[in-house]
Structure 1
Amino acid sequence: MTRNPETPNIANGGHAHDADHDHGQVVTASNERRIRLVLIFTASYAIVQAVGGWFSGSLALIADAGHMVSDSAALLLALIAYRIARRAADATRTYGFHRVRVLAALANGATLLLLVAWIAWEAVQRINAPVEILAGPMLIVAVIGLGVNVAGALILWSGNRGDGNLRGAFLHVIGDLLGSVGAIAAAIGIMLTGWTILDPILSVLVAMLVVRSAWSLISDSIRVLLQAVPRGVDAVEAERGLASLPGVAEAGHFHAWTLTDESSVATVHVSPAEGTDPLSLPQIVSGWLKERYAIDHVTVQVDPPGKLDPGHH
């Protein structure tokens, strides 16, 4: 039998969803261009900074150069993730490849934490065994680096802030920017006081500023991968709200998770109130969830009255 594609397929135990919804998410081309441009800036300056750090003996510059090398790899990973995410969904991966972007964001956060650990270890070694530092060359290289990082941050900030992949790249650049500020402060301090210990101390302070951002990125990525409910969604309250809608007698088995940075998915069972057309419930339920929780794809199963256990998750 041929069914109208605009008509929900509802039966006892059947499922219905919004026929207008498309699982595919748009990978913003402008975001990809921004990351590509910042990658060129970051990789080029990392080489300059590494040479400058080696020549001047500055841990702050060397640490920031290592940070920028790590960022270059992360930015390259982000570009690869965009290319993969652009691939269309298929019969095996019906939601497409957009979770690759989440994996890339998780990798970015993890590399940041590893870098912080490395900087802290090197700083301890420098404190125990101070080395001579050429503050003049260190200051020049750090100022150039600050300009490069400010430009990169502005390029990424103007992109789509809801894109976790882009946000990961932005946090990396902010870490680089803070590293340049620390290197400038250390260079000026050494020039004025001769205290070379300022270099490793400021390196550690800059690294600590990165930890919070890195952990936030990791925790958000883990929430998505573990299919936790989207932030701001309470499953129990959602069921209560659905059960109170006109035409809905019961609501239960509510599940919601984040598909990509900008798309949430939910499934729920409802039963119709007396005199209510079951075919009307999917639109009512999906409309309420989209308005209340910004969930843009909802699968609704309509069960016979009295057959649903609302408290079960």
Structure 2
Amino acid sequence: MTRSHDHAHAHAHGANANRTRLWVAIAIIGAFLVVQVIGAFVSGSLALLADAGHMTSDLIGLVVALVAAMVAARPATDRQTYGYRRAEVFGALVNGVILVVVAVSVAVSAVGRLVTGAEGESHEVQGVPMLVVALLGLVANVAAMLVLRAGAKDSINLRGAYLEVLGDLIGSALVIIAAVVIVTTGFDAADPIASIAIAVLIVPRALSLLRDVMHVLFESAPADTDVAEIRDHILRTAGVVAVHDVHVWQITSGSPVFSAHVEVEPEVFASGRTGELLDELGGCLSDHFDVAHSTFQLEPAGRAEQEHSWHP
């Protein structure tokens, strides 16, 4: 009971810290977004506008992540027995979709500008304002990343927000490179080329995030969980003779749940050791595999064959 209480307390503390991180990141990104949009129109830079669009998606994604985190903090009820923590996963899903949409939009606009440039229609870009705004954007993104980084390891929701800001950081770096090229050489095509590079970099991260979301929604075992090793640990426990119907899934990232039917020797029931065995099994999963929520159904040896006859 103490172990479960400590885990719940730690999770609540981490959730509060994550919400604070999101608020700070929203303030940083929101304040700079205005500067970036103005800079994009002053300089005429598509790359800067693309980066502003990406930063807008960052801001939307951060707000979605914050709302999801607030919903996830609501307590469990008789209807929502696991609470609302999976809201974080849906927040990450929205972030992933936003990233893909932004990448496609940026790529289409950049290709269009390259085509018109090849046809002789020039588009002058003011390199110096573009460079100044991009440098400021780099600083803003670094600040937001430092705020979000600590929570990104444990929360898929915060990881989605972190990846968006990371993508924008890379985007700012590419805009800086393009601005330097324009200032030093006058090669305005560097602007749409940088935009395409930004789009190309966004897509793999978005797909990686969406893949992780699908793993949770399809109730796959966590990537760092070895189900065979867990089964072996259970079988090595004194009094256990077999284990079946093993299931491991996640409510959200960092919150694995385990259930299994465990066949035990008759002496376990006869001597009243069931409570002791349940404590031992639960402690094994918590200590060795960081699974705080585990459910074991203790059964007499040979029960699996009878269950299979009921469920052919």
TM-score in same-fold range (> 0.5): yes
1:163 corresponds to 2:170: no
Output one character per residue of 1:168-224: Cα deviation in whole Å (capped at 9) or x when no partner. 111111111111111111010011111111111122212222222222211111111
Query: Are 1:253 and 1:311, in contact at CA under 8 Å, matched by a contact in 2?
Result: no
Q: 1-side partners of 2:241 and 2:174: how far apart?
A: 62
Q: Per-residue deviation at 1:236? A: 4.2
Q: Per-residue deviation at 1:44? A: 2.4
State the Cα RMSD in Å: 2.4
1:285 corresponds to 2:281: yes
1:205 corresponds to 2:200: no
Aligned residues: 297
Q: 1-side partners of 2:250 and 2:300: how far apart?
A: 29
Query: Are 2:152 and 2:162, in contact at CA under 8 Å, matched by a contact in 1?
Result: no
Q: Which amino acid aligns with 2:77?
A: D
- The runs of 5 or more residues in structure 2 that have no matched partner are 118-122
Q: Per-residue deviation at 1:232? A: 2.7
1:73 corresponds to 2:60: yes
1:147 counterpart SS class: helix
Query: Are 2:103 and 2:199, in contact at CA under 8 Å, matched by a contact in 1?
Result: yes
Among 300, 303, 312, the residue aligned to 1:304: 300
In structure 2, relative to structure 1, the CA distance for the partners of 1:201 and 1:310 (3 Å cut) is farther
Give the alignment's TM-score, normalised by structure 2. Answer: 0.87
Q: 2-side partners of 1:308 and 1:236: how far apart?
A: 18
Q: Which amino acid aligns with 2:61?
A: A
Q: Which amino acid aligns with 2:240?
A: V
Give the alignment's TM-score, normalised by structure 1. Answer: 0.87
Q: 2-side partners of 1:168 and 1:22: how far apart?
A: 24
Query: Are 1:253 and 1:310, in contact at CA under 8 Å, matched by a contact in 2?
Result: no
2:234 counterpart SS class: helix
Q: 1-side partners of 2:165 and 2:102: how far apart?
A: 14
Query: Are 2:28 and 2:140, in contact at CA under 8 Å, matched by a contact in 1?
Result: yes
Q: 2-side partners of 1:133 and 1:19: how far apart?
A: 59
2:246 counterpart SS class: strand
Q: 2-side partners of 1:223 and 1:52: how far apart?
A: 40
1:55 corresponds to 2:74: no
Q: Per-residue deviation at 1:143? A: 1.2
Query: Are 2:18 and 2:158, in contact at CA under 8 Å, matched by a contact in 1?
Result: yes
1:109 corresponds to 2:101: no
Q: Which has the higher contact order (CA 8 A, sep 6+)?
A: 1
Among 266, 270, 294, the residue aligned to 2:262: 270
In structure 2, relative to structure 1, the CA distance for the partners of 1:186 and 1:176 (3 Å cut) is same
Q: Per-residue deviation at 1:23? A: 6.9
Map of 2:217 onto structure 1: 225
Comparing 46-55 and 181-190, the one that deviates more: 46-55
Q: 2-side partners of 1:133 and 1:156: how far apart?
A: 33
Q: 1-side partners of 2:4 and 2:296: how far apart?
A: 12
1:294 corresponds to 2:290: yes
- The runs of 5 or more residues in structure 1 that have no matched partner are 1-5, 7-17
In structure 2, relative to structure 1, the CA distance for the partners of 1:311 and 1:66 (3 Å cut) is farther
Query: Are 1:254 and 1:269, in contact at CA under 8 Å, matched by a contact in 2?
Result: yes
Query: Are 2:131 and 2:179, in contact at CA under 8 Å, matched by a contact in 1?
Result: yes
Taking the TM superposition and a 5 Å limit, the aligned residue runs for 1:177-188 are 177-188=169-180
Q: Which amino acid aligns with 1:246?
A: A
Query: Are 1:86 and 1:97, in contact at CA under 8 Å, matched by a contact in 2?
Result: yes
